[in-house]
Structure 1
Amino acid sequence: MRTLHFTFPATIRAAERAHVGVVGSGDLEVLFEPATAGAGDTANVRVRTSVEGFDEVWRSTLQRFFARTPVQGTWELNDAAATPALVTLRLQQAAHAAGHREEGS
């Protein structure tokens, strides 16, 4: 099992914890903990995956997400070979469950 760590700038505070998805074949579990006061303007992401050699795919997928949805807090992703599209979907679901709403939604 590989563990990857990423940090991204984040400006949006969320109010709620979130848990979406499951650790299962081809799926992804996302756990989100909102930032505490004074924690800084970052999103700290830990990815646990059994898949080797996709560090840059993870980095670019997460960069795209946090460029659009910069939610502050701690993100834990437990991967079971999810595709980048599913990763993005689960992250969006977690942000929504945590109280973040995209403009126009």
Structure 2
Amino acid sequence: MSIPTRIEVLTFEFPGTKPAGKFSPVLVGVVGSGNLEVMLEPATSMQCVFHVETSARGFRTIWEAVVRNFHEQHKLSGVVVSINDMGATPAVVSLRLNQAVSELT
């Protein structure tokens, strides 16, 4: 049996209404089985951009729902959110996103 080793790359962009302002990059979590890391960095645009690299292929609609829900809660602008995932559940993704945004305040 062959196990695919390719990583799926997803990008989502949302208009934001709450500028994050100046901040140093924020990193939470670790990449490992069933977990992920989330990095927040300042963006050059006023969009909120999510870049997801995941080992769990075929879950675009779930990823979009999770990051859309996060964005609807926080409405950040001027932020790039990079997610490196190794099979985390949506609940863990939401936890890490909220941990990261709490570091901005």
Q: Which residue, out of 75, 78, 83, partners 2:81? A: 75
**Structure 2 counterpart of 1:81, which letter?**
G
Residue by residue over 1:7-41, the C-alpha shift from the partner in whole angstroms, topping out at 9 and shown as x without a partner, is: 012122223221000101111100111234xx22x
For normalisation by structure 1, the TM-score amounts to 0.85
Unaligned runs of 5+ in 2: 1-6
After the TM superposition, which residues 21-40 of structure 1 pair with which residues of structure 2 at under 5 Å, given as runs?
A: 21-36=29-44, 39-40=45-46
- Choose which of 65, 68, 72 in structure 2 pairs with 1:63: 68
Please give the root-mean-square deviation of Cα atoms over the aligned residues, in Å. Answer: 1.1
Identity %: 41
Structure 1 residue runs without a partner (length 5+): 100-105
- Equivalent pair of 1:6/1:45 in contact (CA under 8 Å): yes
Give deviations 1:37-90, integer Å, cap 9, x for gaps.
Answer: xx22x1011000011110000001111110011122111000010000110110
Structure 1 residue runs of 4+, over 3 Å off? none
Aligned length: 96
Give 3-state SS (helix, strand or coil) of 1:86's partner: helix
Q: Contact 1:22–1:28 at 8 Å: present in 2 too? A: yes
